[in-house]
């Protein structure tokens, strides 16, 4: 089987050293196996995404010598793909409209917590169909949520394998009734990344350990949509010498600023290889 990896940054800022590490990791895995390395731009956040950041991403990757195969896939150009996946889930009564505001959810102080904070308490899950239709017809603001309990029953028990952590039993309720789409953004990270990996034929997902919990949702969606589950390799997160994770706001450590200071691609990779791994408890959560 051909190994297909991908690097999927969001164009909401410039790439930093952590991005360079992640991109090189995916690129090396594909090239060493004689496979394909894909570039995807995750720009579903229309308000924060900027074309100038996308241009900078492509320039930085070319400067690093990390070439990609085929055309760049921009998520904002494929909302129809995500819509078709939502339609399939809706036809099986696996999603529902939620009219709660963020303030409504925050007020539910007794809600259990998940990796991203308080889980949605399910207020709109059991609204009568007539009420749902009336509120939708009135144009009331809403999002679409996955009915995680119903999805868990349909999907059945599942597991996935990570190169570092081995076999992991799936926890379909880990994130609760996750949002799969909003009125202003007709998809979500969880839905779009699952659909994209399937449509692009990705066989090996390499990404940071902070996204390991999300894999429980992605494999659940794969089972519901009839997709193959790829292999996973969640790598360590880079930190600076003080132990702080890199972020786009760290202007001095962006690839562009390092390049402008005279650094070469070889020096960038040497710097990355010398950086310490995160301290215990900093990853995967």
Per-residue pLDDT of the chain (285 residues; tens, 9 = 90+): 899 999 999 999 999 999 999 999 999 999 999 999 999 999 999 889 999 999 999 999 999 999 999 999 999 999 999 999 999 999 999 999 999 988 888 777 566 888 888 899 999 999 999 999 999 999 999 999 999 999 999 999 999 999 999 999 999 999 999 999 998 899 999 999 999 999 999 999 999 999 999 999 999 999 999 999 999 999 988 876 666 776 666 665 799 999 999 999 999 999 888 876 544 333 332
Tokens representing residue 207 in the block: 């990404």
Task: Write out the two tokens for 236.
Answer: 């360590």
Backbone region of residue 93 per phi and psi (left: phi > 0; alpha: psi in -120 to 50; beta: other values): left
- Give how far the C-alpha of residue 159 lies from the chain's centroid of Cα atoms, to the nearest Å: 19
Cα separation, 35 vs 52, whole angstroms: 30
The one catalytic residue in 29, 73, 135, 248 is 248
User: What pLDDT score was predicted for residue 165?
Assistant: 94
248 annotated active-site: yes
The answer to whether 121 touches 113, Cβ cutoff 8 Å, is no
pTM comes to 0.92
Enumerate residues 6+ apart whose C-beta is below 8 A from 98: 120, 123, 124, 142, 143, 144, 145, 177, 179
**Per-residue confidence (pLDDT) for residue 1, from 0 to 100:** 87
pLDDT at 238: 80
Q: What are phi and psi of 34, to 5 degrees?
A: 70, 30
């Amino acid at each position: 089987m051909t190994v297909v990896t991908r690097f999927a940054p969001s164009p909401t800022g410039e790439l930093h050293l952590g991005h360079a590490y992640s991109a090189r990791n995916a690129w090396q895995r594909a090239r060493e196996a004689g496979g394909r390395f894909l570039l995807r731009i995750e720009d579903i956040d229309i308000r924060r995404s900027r074309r100038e950041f996308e241009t900078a991403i492509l320039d930085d990757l070319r400067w690093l010598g990390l070439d990609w195969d085929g055309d760049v896939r921009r998520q904002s150009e494929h909302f129809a793909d995500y819509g078709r996946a939502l339609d399939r889930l809706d036809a099986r009564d696996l999603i529902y409209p939620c009219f709660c505001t963020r303030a409504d959810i925050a007020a539910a102080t007794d809600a259990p917590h998940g990796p991203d904070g308080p889980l949605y308490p399910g207020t709109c899950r059991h609204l009568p169909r007539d009420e749902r239709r009336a509120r939708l017809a009135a144009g009331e603001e809403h999002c679409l949520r996955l009915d995680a309990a119903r999805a868990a029953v349909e999907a059945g028990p599942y597991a996935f394998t990570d190169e570092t952590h081995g076999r992991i039993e799936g926890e379909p309720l880990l994130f609760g009734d996750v949002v799969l789409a909003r009125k202003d953004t007709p998809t979500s990270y969880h839905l779009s990344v699952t659909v994209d990996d399937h449509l692009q034929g990705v066989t090996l997902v390499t990404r940071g350990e902070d996204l390991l919990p999300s894999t429980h949702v992605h494999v659940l969606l794969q089972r519901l949509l009839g997709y193959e589950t790829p292999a996973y390799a969640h790598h360590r997160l880079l930190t600076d010498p003080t132990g702080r994770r890199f972020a786009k706001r760290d202007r001095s450590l962006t690839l562009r600023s390092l390049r402008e200071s005279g650094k070469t691609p070889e020096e960038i990779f040497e710097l990355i290889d010398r950086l310490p791994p995160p301290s215990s408890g900093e990853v995967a959560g």
